[in-house]
Amino acid sequence: MSINLLTEKFISQSGNPPQMEAITHSAAIIIKDKKALLVKRPQDDVEGDKWTFVNETLEQGETPEQAVVRGVKEEIGCDFEIIHKLFEHEFKGHKTHVFLGTIQGDIRINPKEVLKAGWAVYEEATSLAYAFGYEQVLNRLRQLQLI
C-alpha cells in the first residue's frame, strides 16, 4: 500500500486527519550522589536503543502515582517511594508526570522492558541519545540543582 493510500485511509469524513488521543505517562527520577538512574530501551521497542528515566504509560483508571510505582517495579524490580512531583514534561502531545523518589532493593532489570541501567552525572548523561525528548527532563533536573 502506498503512503498516499495509507494517509487517505485515515482521513476523516470532514477531510481532516483524526486527532490522536494524548497518552499520559509517569517517570521516576532516582538520584544518588548527584547521579541519575537512567535506563536504555530495548532495540525492538519504540525509540529503541535510546535512554530514558524509568517510565510507564498509565493504564485505564490508574493515577500517575500508581503508574510510576508500578513502572519502577516492572522495569528494575525495586519499590519506589515518591518524595514529590517535580513537574510535567510534554513531548509530541504526550504528557509525562515526573516524580522524584527513592528506591528500595537491588536493581534487577527486566530485559523485556530495559536493555541496561546505569547511574550518570549530568556531564556524562548529556552525551547520550534520549527517547521522547527526555534530554529536556535531564536539563530541568540540572536547573533544579538535583544533578
Query: Per-residue pLDDT tens for 89-133?
Result: 999 989 999 999 999 999 999 999 999 999 999 999 999 999 999
The listed CATH number (3.20.20.450, 3.30.420.40, 3.90.79.10, 3.40.50.20) that belongs to domain 20-143: 3.90.79.10
pLDDT in tens, 44-79: 888 889 999 999 999 999 999 999 999 999 999 999
Which class for 76: exposed (0-12), middle (13-18), buried (19 or more C-beta within 10 A)? buried
Of 61, 64, 41, 62, whose CA–CA distance to 52 is shortest? 41
In the chain, domain spans: 20-143
- Measured CA to CA, the distance from residue 42 to residue 16 in angstroms comes to 35
